[in-house]
Amino acid sequence: MSVAARRLHAVLGAGPAGTTLAAELARQGKAVRLVSRSMPDGAPDGVQRRAADVSTHDGARAAVEGADVVYHCVNVAYHQQTEVMPRVQQAVLNAVEATGARLVVLDTLYPYGPTHGEVMTEDTPWRATSRKGVMRAQLDEAYLAAHRAGRVRVVLGRSADFVGPGVLNSTLGGAVFPPALTGGEVLALGDIDLPHSYTAIQDVAKGLAALGEDPEGDGRVWHLPTAPARTTREIHSMIEERVGGPLRRVVLTEPRPFGPFDATFMDEYAEMFYQHTEAQIVDSSAFERSFGLRPTPLDATLDATLGWFRTLIAGARN
C-alpha cells in the first residue's frame, strides 16, 4: 500500500454526501474517518466512526485530529443554517489551520442567487439576495480569503440539487421516488418545463475525492460533475417509463407543506423558490477537463435511485 493510500481522510457529516464520499474513499483504498454529531450509523466497512460536534472548537479538533485531508460535508436543518453554519465554518477553519490539513468544502449554488436562467459556470457572479444565499457567499469568501492568506489550503466543490441512492431531502428525492413506485402523489415545484440540473450523489463523492487527491485545484471553486440539465417534465417521463405507468403529479406553484417538507422547512425555502421559476443549469466542463471525470448519465442515476428506493420500501413493509 502506498504512502498516499495510508493518509487519513476525515469526512465531516454523515448525511448522503458524507456517507457516499466515505464509501468512495474507502473503495479507493484510503484510510477514512466518518464524523457526525452522534455516532454515525451504517458507515461503510473499514471506515472509522467518530462522534463530534464540529460547531465547537474542541469537537472540530477531535474530528480532524491526525487527518491529512478534511472534507466538510456538514449540513443542518434548513431553518438553523444561517445560525449554525458560520459557527461550523469558524471551528473547522481553526482546526485545520492548527493541524495543517487540507480542507475540501462541499458547497451549494446559493451564492449565485437568481441568474435569470443563464448557464452557471465558476465565473458566474455571486448575486445572492436571500438570507441563506448571502450567508453561503460570505462563508465561501471567508474560505477563499483564508487560503489566500496562507492560513489553510482550501478548495470548494459546488453541487446542484442531489439525486441518487440515499438522497431523501431533495426536490428529486423522497417526495418523488417512493410515491412514483407506490402510486402516491409525486411532488413537482414551479415551472416543470424549465431545465434543472441535478448532481448524482455518487458524482458528488467522486468529485470531492478527486479534489482531495489533487492540491493543484486548491484556492478556488469547482462545479462537481453534473449531467446535462433536463426539465422536470422530462425527468418525470423517464421515471414513468421505469415504473410502468403515469405519475400522479402535484405541482406547487408556490411553497407550501407537502410530503416530507413540513411548514417549518417550506417557510424557510420560500426565499429560494426562484430556483423553480427560472432555469437552473450547471456547467461542470471545467472540472471534467481538469480532473478527467465525466458525470453519470441521468438514465443510470434514475435506475440506481429507483432500485434503492424499491429496496427501502420493501424493507419498510417487512
* Tens of pLDDT, residues 32-42: 999 999 887 77
For the stretch 199-238, pLDDT in tens is 999 999 999 999 999 999 999 999 999 999 999 999 999 9
pLDDT computed for residue 148 by the predictor: 97
Residue 207, Cβ density class (10 Å: 0-12 exposed, 13-18 middle, ≥19 buried): buried
pLDDT computed for residue 317 by the predictor: 80
Distance CA 212, CA 104 (A): 6
CB-based contact 128:113 (threshold 8 Å): yes
pLDDT computed for residue 6 by the predictor: 58
φ and ψ at residue 224, rounded to 5 degrees: -65, 155
Is the pLDDT at 248 greater than 50? The verdict is yes
CB-based contact 291:217 (threshold 8 Å): yes
> In what helix (H) or strand (E) does residue 316 lie, and over which residues does it extend?
helix 298-317
Helices 232-243 and 298-317, axial angle in degrees (round to 10):
60
pLDDT computed for residue 153 by the predictor: 98
CB-based contact 292:223 (threshold 8 Å): no
